[in-house]
Amino acid sequence: MTGEIETDWSTDAIVERRKKFYAASQRAFVPYKEPMIFQKGKGQYLWDEKGKEYLDLLGMNLCISVGHAHPEVNRAIREQTEDMLHCTTMFYHPVPAHFAEELVATMPEGDDWVVHFTSSGAEAADLALLMARSYTGNVDFLALQNGYHGATFGAQSMTGIAGFRHNVPLLGGIHHVSNPDAYRGIHRDNVDLYLDEIDRTIKTSTSGALAGMIIEPVQGYGGIVPMLDGYIEGAFERVRAAGGVCVIDEVQSGFGRTGANFWGFEASDAVPDIVIMAKGIGNGIPLGAVVAKRGIAEALADKFYFNTYGANPVACAAGRAVLRVIAAEGLQQNAARVGAELLSVAQDVQQRYDAIGDVRGRGLMVAMELVKDRKTREPATDVTAEIFEASRENGLIMSKSGAYKNVLRIVPPLCINHDDVGRFADAIDRSFQSVLDS
């Protein structure tokens, strides 16, 4: 056994220790050529181990919703840790129950919603699939190509991006249909053709009876792909006609991020049967939830289903504080306002660089998709990587997303402000210039 050692913040030691002690499965997912080490975060800013400041346009993959080290969230966490770190769901505790009530209040009226807390989005995705299959008694389930739902077997089986699907037998009965992507999708923006594909898939690839379908209102890791108008409504109609339940994945698009609405699905007229959420729900604390119509959730009443840390009071105290902060600071409205400004800067840069084939977004989910040729839309993966590296030098943290890693994904903490947009405009311009004008 090693004794207690002081944390070593020297760059080489951090890199070496991770290389030596992390499993490949935890080591492999790195964005930059050179290791990126972070020591501190505050609001929408980050500092590396050498003290260099960055504008955070990624929020640790959208986990940081209301800002790094938010004082109100941290206070709620601190206070709960003083009383009790964990209370198993076998026993009663008011904090998670209050939080469940508050989450239910964000759901569409007219339905009786209940909550199951998990520790992650993938656990929530797995449970949603289990609920759908248990409730309907059916197995076949639809998911979208280019969708991401997590790394566990169930969630991975619903994921439609090869880079995240491992070469092992995943769950059977899950069928992927084309995602309605106006820019790169097989039917471009023709929503009827995508919906026809659902009909065809149900008729040809399934038993005809569905357990359900899962949809991200705006695909996240897939490269910020908002569902076409009418798609969610049409898909839900077809899924319900085949006996299935409709699952919405709000892990990235929820909690006011899309600006116009609190939940991404509210941009449509469709009401889901099950909603899964995680990431920004806890502002960095591991937490997820399945919110389901009571009748569907009741399908699991006769068997135990237990996420050890589900409904952890510290995590739920953080979650309650996140909801309070979003409301008190008007962060959904901020997402709409600042998101529109970011989009307009991205469109402006697009005017100057042919390499940007498409700019799109909803609220604080913004994407710039890079292509070799605007006509053929061939993905410009290498150039995207170069601009991405340059953006780091220029003090921006973003992500490279999409099946071809040719999308710059901009999903900052919801507290980003007007001045930050100016900083982004300057830094992104310099990043494109240094790669494409040199």
Residue with nearest beta carbon to ligand PLP: 121
Residue 185 sits at φ, ψ, to 5 deg, of -65, 155
Q: 221 or 255: whose CB is closer to ligand PLP?
A: 221
CB of 187 to ligand PLP, least distance (A): 23
Tokens for 438, please give them.
């040199």
Q: Please provide residue 393's backbone torsions phi and psi, each rounded to the nearest 5 degrees.
A: -60, -35
The two counts, helices (H) then strands (E), for the chain are: 14, 17
CA separation for the pair 365, 57 (Å, rounded): 10
Tell the smallest beta-carbon distance from residue 151 to ligand PLP (Å): 6
Task: Give the nearer residue to ligand PLP in terms of CB position, either 2 or 308.
Answer: 308
- Contact criterion met (CB below 8 Å) for 253 and 218: yes
CB-nearer residue toward ligand PLP: 96 or 282: 282
Question: CA 129 to CA 147: how far, in whole Å?
Answer: 15
What is the closest distance, in whole angstroms, from the C-beta atom of residue 355 to ligand PLP in the complex?
26
Half-sphere exposure in the Cβ direction for 260 (13 Å, CA): 10
- Backbone φ and ψ of 45, nearest 5°: -120, 150
Closest CA to 358 of 378, 335, 341: 378
Helix H segments across 309-357? 313-328, 331-352
Judged by beta carbon, residue 245 or residue 380, the one nearer ligand PLP is 245
Q: How far is the CB of 276 from ligand PLP (least distance, A)?
A: 7
- The SS3 assignment for 145 reads coil
Token pair 């569905």 in the structure block, residue:
210
Nearer Cβ to ligand PLP, position 152 or 178?
Answer: 152
**CB of residue 364 vs ligand PLP: minimum separation in angstroms?**
15
Longest dimension (CA), the chain: 66
CB of residue 149 to ligand PLP, shortest distance in Å: 5
Q: What is the 3-state secondary structure (H, E, C) of 253-298?
A: CCCCCCCCCCCHHHHCCCCCCEEEECHHHHCCCCCEEEEEEHHHHH
**Smallest separation, CB 422 to ligand PLP (Å):** 29
Q: How far is the CB of 61 from ligand PLP (least distance, A)?
A: 6
Q: Which is nearer to ligand PLP, 286 or 357 (CB)?
A: 286
By beta-carbon proximity to ligand PLP, the closer residue of 275 and 342 is: 275
Report the residue number, 228 or 390, with the smaller CB distance to ligand PLP: 228
The tokens of 225 are what?
Answer: 């792909």
Gap between the Cα atoms of 87 and 71, Å rounded = 24
Cβ atoms of 209 and 243 closer than 8 Å = yes
HSE-CB for 176 with a 13 A CA cutoff: 18
Query: How long is the chain?
Result: 438
**Least distance in Å: CB of 127 to ligand PLP?**
12
Q: Which residues of 409-432 are buried (b: 16+ CB within 10 A; e: fewer)?
A: bbbbbbbbeeebbeebbebbbbbb
Q: Which chain residues interact with ligand PLP by CB under 6 A?
A: 61, 120-122, 125, 148-150, 216, 220-221, 249, 251-252, 278, 288
Distance of closest approach, residue 277 Cβ to ligand PLP, in angstroms: 9
Closest alpha carbon to 131 in 275, 238, 286 = 275
CA 419 from chain centre, in angstroms, equals: 25
